[in-house]
Amino acid sequence: MTDTPQIPSDLSVFASLTPDEIRTMTAAVWHHDYPANTVIFREGDKAGALFIVTRGRVRVVVSFAAGLEKEMLNLGMGDIFGELSVITGQDRSATATTLEDTSVLSIDKMALGKLCREHPLIGNKLLRFLLLTVAERLHTTTTHYRNAVDWALNVSDAMELNLNALAGGRLAVAAELVTGSRVAGELVKVQKHGNDSELVIRNSTGEVVVIPYHAVASIAFPAEAVQPRKDRTGAFTL
C-alpha cells in the first residue's frame, strides 16, 4: 500500500474529473496490490472502503445455504465494488476475491465524506457515478430476483406447470445450478424442507441428488412431457 498513489485518468470513474481534480483525489485514496486468489473482504465483514480496479480481475459472490455461491460480478479495470457498504454503512453483502494479480484504489467513507465537503464539485461527480453504478446493478439484481420468483412459482402449485405433478412420470430433466454445474437425470419428486423446496433427481448412475430450489438457475425437460390443457377461460395452456 502506498500513501501517494498514481490515479489513472482513463478510468471511467474519473473520466469526468479535470487533471487538477484528479490530483486532489490523491489525498483521499489508497493503493493496494493483491496476489491472485486473495479475499479482499468477506460477506458479513464490517463496512469499510469502496474499491476501484486498476489492474487484474475481481470476482464478487454471494453465499446461499448448503455452501452454494452465486457469482454476481466479474470485474476488470475501471470497475468499482464495495460501494454499498460505504453508502449505507451496513456489513458487506458479498465476498470479493482476486482472480489474478490485482491492483485497486480504495476510498473509505470518512475520506469520501471529507472530499465531498471540501470539494463539492468532485464529490458530486463521484456520487453521480456511484448512483449510476448502483442503479445498473439493482436492475441486474431485480432480474435475478424475478427469475427466482418465477422458479419458485413453478415448483409450487401457483402456476400451471407443477413439477411435482410431473415427477411420477419418470420425467428426464437437466437442472442448471447457480454455481454453473449441471445435474441431469429422472425427476423423482419435489419435496418441502422447512420453508424451502427441494428437487430430488436420480442420475444415470442411480445416485439420488437433492437440490434446494434456490440453487437452480434453470431446468430443462422434453416439451412433450407437458400436455396442453384448458384453463378457466377455455384456452389451452401448458
- Determine the pLDDT at residue 40: 96
- Determine the pLDDT at residue 173: 85
- Determine the pLDDT at residue 158: 44
- Determine the pLDDT at residue 229: 47
The answer, yes or no, to whether residue 203 has pLDDT greater than 70, is yes
The answer, yes or no, to whether residue 184 has pLDDT greater than 80, is yes
Give the model's confidence band at 101: pLDDT under 50 very low, under 70 low, under 90 confident, else very high. Answer: very high
**Alpha carbons 197 and 90: distance in angstroms, whole number:** 30
Minimum mean pLDDT range among 2-6, 76-80, 200-204:
2-6
- Determine the pLDDT at residue 154: 58
Would the pTM count as exceeding 0.75?
no
Is 51 in contact with 75 (CB distance < 8 Å)? no
- Domains of the chain listed by start with CATH number: 12-151 (2.60.120.10), 162-225 (2.30.30.100)
Q: How far is CA 15 from CA 7, 19, 33, 67, 129, in A?
A: 11, 10, 23, 39, 10
The answer, yes or no, to whether residue 135 has pLDDT greater than 70, is yes
For residue 1, which amino acid is it?
M
Give the model's confidence band at 159: pLDDT under 50 very low, under 70 low, under 90 confident, else very high. Answer: very low
Minimum mean pLDDT range among 137-146, 164-173, 223-232:
223-232
